[in-house]
């Protein structure tokens, strides 16, 4: 059995940089990865999807160029070339990260699947087939999450798609049925609609992006339907049947009424589950919740001293930037003797539909639940100079403020570069800058950020 100071399981956006930093700090470290370096973000998430979103945006711009006085004749979508570009960028990121890790002194990169066999002891089935055993004083679990697959009659009889496998397509689906109307389903639904697919989205809840305010959901629904995407809410898929012609028929209950939807492909996008099943965590005493998420305290340590969980595997906000922030907190606490916590940290996020949906802090729904005293500033993108000039006035800006302290409580930006504009308000919230100050800032003209002046000026009207 080989002894290490620290063992990191999973090379996602927490595991990779943490392993490298621990090794450089003098700890003999092993990084165990069962698949590819980089985790979901590099291989199945941020990098490949946003690469493909860029191609979809270009197709949309070509299709809608006439309103800006540019006539484009007969453009085509080359799905095979889009996939090839995506794969090349993924390999660039993945290979660069792997080379950097393998060149790090004091760090062993081991490819295989780890299973706990006892107190801080693991067995690793190497990708070569051999078994090896390791132990360490410190363990860091960063195994991420995987697509949740529902129990639907007949689903296993078809080659259904997930957020991973859909990016392997080299031909545009004729009719894509998306089961799930949240971030993953909406990004892929709009993307493939722009590539040329007929797209139908079915969502179990009463509206898409049901965690957002109602007006956000309504506006995004309007935007997607204007691109000829069909959206059914209060919709439960009960049965899927494949015919000899390879056509698929899905039986969907919409508001209690049965509807048959014929399609060529089905994408499952109803959520994700933590990858803890093969870790055998009971062998080392680590506690999980009923969904399999690893329980941690505010410093990301489990109930077993010296064992930590970072990123999606611990539940909570499942974002790459949260995973990376987990790494910085754990590293600084352990190596630099700081006293950092995940309690009350900001959780910004962006959904990369077009236009983007950027969000930070509270929305109206949460503020009402907490019975807070708040005011709402709202500005349609149709009133934003930069949006008018660029020809894209879809969406709106919205912010909640405390009328007594003038502090910003939260913001939702559904519009062009919504994530970038949201980030400015995030920085204001972190720095205690009031909305009164922002509305008199001097921003460069004409930028989307400049419209934050006007957003908060709405309180005077």
Catalytic positions are 445
Strand partners of residue 397: 379, 413
Which residues are CB-neighbours of 420 under 8 A, at least 6 positions away? 358, 448, 449
Tokens representing residue 173 in the block: 């689906």
Is the distance from CB of 382 to CB of 219 less than 8 angstroms? no
Is the distance from CB of 106 to CB of 26 less than 8 angstroms? yes
Compute CA 3 distance to the chain's CA centroid, rounded to the nearest angstrom. 36
In whole angstroms, what is the distance from residue 157 CA to residue 250 CA? 12
Burial label, 204 (beta-carbon count in 10 A; 0-12, 13-18, 19+): middle
In whole angstroms, what is the distance from residue 361 CA to residue 359 CA? 7
In whole angstroms, what is the distance from residue 5 CA to residue 18 CA? 13
Tokens representing residue 294 in the block: 């690893």
Tokens representing residue 317 in the block: 């906000």
Going by C-alpha positions, the residue among 458, 396, 381 that lies closest to residue 219 is 396
């Amino acid at each position: 059995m080989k002894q290490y100071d620290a063992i990191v399981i999973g090379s996602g956006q927490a595991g990779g940089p943490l392993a490298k930093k621990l090794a450089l700090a003098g700890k003999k470290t092993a990084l165990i990865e069962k698949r590819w370096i980089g985790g979901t973000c590099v291989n199945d998430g941020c990098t490949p999807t946003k690469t493909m979103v860029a191609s979809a945006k270009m197709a949309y711009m070509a299709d809608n160029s006439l309103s800006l006085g540019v006539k484009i004749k007969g453009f085509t979508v080359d799905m095979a070339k889009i996939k090839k570009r995506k794969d090349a960028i993924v390999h660039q990121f993945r290979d660069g990260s792997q080379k950097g890790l393998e060149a790090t002194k004091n760090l062993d990169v081991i490819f295989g699947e780890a299973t706990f066999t006892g107190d801080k002891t693991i067995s690793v089935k190497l990708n070569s087939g051999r078994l090896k055993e390791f132990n360490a004083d410190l363990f860091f679990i960063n195994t991420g999450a995987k697509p949740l697959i529902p129990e639907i009659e007949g689903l296993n009889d078809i080659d259904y798609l997930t957020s991973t496998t859909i990016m392997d397509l080299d031909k545009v689906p004729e009719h894509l049925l998306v089961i799930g109307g949240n971030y993953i389903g909406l990004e892929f639904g709009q993307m493939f609609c722009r590539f040329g697919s007929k797209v139908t989205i079915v969502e179990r809840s009463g509206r898409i992006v049901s965690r957002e305010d109602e007006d956000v959901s309504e506006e995004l629904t309007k935007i997607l339907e204007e691109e000829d995407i069909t959206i059914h809410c209060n919709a439960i898929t009960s049965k899927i049947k494949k015919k000899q012609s390879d056509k698929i028929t899905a039986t969907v209950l919409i508001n209690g009424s049965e509807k048959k939807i014929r399609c060529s492909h089905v994408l499952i996008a109803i959520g994700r589950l933590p990858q803890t099943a093969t870790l055998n965590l009971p062998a080392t005493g680590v506690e999980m919740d009923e969904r399999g998420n690893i329980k941690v305290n505010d410093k990301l340590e489990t109930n077993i001293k010296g064992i930590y969980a970072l990123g999606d595997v611990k539940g909570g906000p499942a974002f790459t930037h949260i995973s990376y922030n987990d790494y910085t907190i754990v590293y600084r606490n352990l190596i630099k003797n700081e006293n950092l916590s995940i309690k009350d940290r900001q959780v910004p996020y962006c959904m990369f539909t077009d236009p983007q949906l950027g969000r930070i802090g509270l929305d109206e729904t949460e503020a009402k639940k907490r019975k807070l005293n708040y005011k709402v500033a709202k500005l349609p993108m149709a009133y934003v100079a930069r949006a008018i000039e660029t020809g894209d006035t879809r969406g709106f800006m919205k912010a909640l403020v405390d009328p007594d302290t003038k502090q910003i409580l939260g913001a939702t930006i559904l519009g062009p570069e919504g994530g970038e504009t949201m980030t400015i308000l995030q920085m204001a919230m972190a720095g205690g800058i009031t909305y009164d100050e922002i509305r008199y800032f001097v921003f460069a003209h004409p930028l989307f950020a400049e419209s934050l002046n006007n957003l908060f000026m709405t309180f005077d009207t």
